[in-house]
Amino acid sequence: MKQQGWSWGVGPGRAGLAVGLCLMLLAGHAVHAQERLLLGSGPVQGGYFRTGGAVCAQVNKQTAQHKIFCAVAPSEGSVENLDLLRAARVDLALVQSNWQYFAFEGTAKRFAGADKVANMRALAALSGRPLVLLARQDAGIAALSDIRGKRIDIGKTGTERRVVMDDLLAALDWDLGAFELASEFPEKEALDALCAGQLAAVPLVGISPSRRVQAALRRCKLHIVPIDAALVAQMTAAKPYYAPIKIPQGTYPGIKGDITSFGQRLVLVGRFRVADTDAYNLVKALAENLPALAKLHPSLGGLTPETLARGGIAIPLHDGAARYFREAGLL
């Protein structure tokens, strides 16, 4: 983002003010960097903001070499980040992989027609948001097929976990009649009912590792149900914004082996006008320093170069990112 492009008005809400403040920060580093990139993230107390901070911190370790300085700007999350990116108020953004797809294709009402985000390209897939299906240890649920006929929660309409469960049930060709009960509780109430023995299984969705999952596993006798690899392949083939996600051994208390699942990923996207060289160097700074990146935020642990190149990316790659991935043998 060149300095002459900073003559914007402040956007609506707190994010607009935050963007303005971050531009001041970027200007202060002009002497050290030839290109300053502003990254839209999420609320200051949330995981997206901290993940964005980790990305920028890793990139900025090598500013002297690649002449890029990255600053993270708080926002309300994926949808506002897409609005900011479309309006060229940020250069980079963290976006949930489904919103990346909906906004680029124009298939969500918010981004239909002329409002679709056509100036966006993918750079790298980052933190996973797997489906974590929690089941009582005394419920006789060892595999996903075992939840049939049980009392489960599927989440409130409109929530992320309900969307994921609807997609999962559609892939299984099950309707709600497959269960003794399919409740639609808010998450806290669903977990209360699970621990009280009123439900046999409850799905959670969020960045991994999740404090909510950790708390639930400590609170009562539960385990995580694996999702069959063949079903994961079916899900990801049908909806390109889903990706296979492994929950590694040791992620949560009592988890003694890797658990297969699927879900969305947090995708780093950028304006297509970000210079190819800058996109190349940014992706290189992440892909070649994954252990260091993982130390900056736990959700970035377990990333592989292959995940960066393909995990839930459902829009065209930026030319600079694609060049790096091709040279690394990942495309």
pLDDT digits (tens, 9 = 90+) for 138-155: 999 999 999 999 999 999
By DSSP bridging, strand 243-247 and strand 68-73 are unpaired
SS3 assignment, position 272: coil
Query: Is the pLDDT assigned to residue 213 strictly greater than 60?
Result: yes
Lowest mean pLDDT among 4-18, 61-75, 266-280, 307-321: 4-18
Mean pLDDT (whole number) for 277-296: 96
Residues sharing a CB contact under 8 Å with residue 164, sequence separation 6 or more, in sequence order: 131, 203, 205, 263
Measured between alpha carbons, how far is 188 from 133 in angstroms, rounded to an integer?
Answer: 15
Q: Cα torsion for 51, 52, 57, 59, to the nearest 10°?
A: 120
- C-alpha 71/C-alpha 128 separation (Å) is 22
Query: Which pairs count as long-range contacts for 141-148, CB under 8 Å and 24+ apart, including other chains?
Result: 141/200, 141/201, 141/225, 142/225, 143/225, 143/226, 143/228, 144/172, 144/225, 144/226, 144/227, 144/228, 144/231, 146/225, 147/179, 147/200, 147/201, 147/225, 148/174, 148/178, 148/179
Q: How does residue 20 score in pLDDT terms, banded at 50, 70 and 90?
A: very low
Tell me which H or E stretch contains 331.
none
Q: What is the pTM of this model?
A: 0.86
Average pLDDT of the chain, as a whole number: 90
Q: Which fold has domain 129-263?
A: D-Maltodextrin-Binding Protein; domain 2 (3.40.190)
Confidence of residue 13 (pLDDT cuts 50, 70, 90): very low
CA distance 177 to 63: 57
Rounded to whole angstroms, the Cα distance separating 12 from 235 reads 37
The amino acid that residue 264 corresponds to is Q
Give the mean pLDDT of 290-302.
Answer: 92
The full length of the chain comes to: 331
Extents of the domains making up the chain: 3-127+264-327, 129-263
Angle at 263 between CA 125 and CA 252, to 5 degrees: 95
The mean pLDDT value for 44-68 works out to: 93
Q: Single out the residue of 241, 263, 261 nearest to residue 252, CA to CA.
A: 261
Residue 24 in this model has a pLDDT that exceeds 70: no
**How far, in Å, CA of 259 to CA of 323, rounded?**
33
Q: Which residues of 156-184 are buried (b: 16+ CB within 10 A; e: fewer)?
A: eeeebbbebbebbbebbeeeeeebeebbe
Whether residue 267 has pLDDT greater than 80:
yes
pLDDT tens digit sequence for 116-136 = 999 999 999 999 999 999 999
Task: Please list, in sequence order, all residues whose beta carbon lies within 8 angstroms of the beta carbon of residue 227, skipping any fewer than 6 positions away.
Answer: 131, 133, 144, 168, 260, 261, 262
Distance (Å, whole) CA 91 – CA 68: 12
Instruction: Report the pLDDT value the prediction gives residue 254, as an integer from 0 to 100.
Output: 82
- Report pLDDT for 222: 96
Give the mean model confidence (pLDDT) for residues 268-287.
96
Q: Are 183 and 154 in contact (CB under 8 A)?
A: yes
Mention the CATH class of domain 3-127+264-327: alpha beta
Confidence class for position 195, pLDDT limits 50, 70, 90: very high
Which residue in 7, 11, 6 sits closest to 74, CA to CA? 11
Angle at which helices 187-195 and 211-219 cross, to 10°: 20
Q: Per-residue pLDDT for 167 more than 80?
A: yes
- DSSP string for residues in 120-162: EEEEEEEEEEEEEEEEETTS--SSGGGGTTSEEE---TTSHHH
Report the pLDDT value the prediction gives residue 32, as an integer from 0 to 100.
53
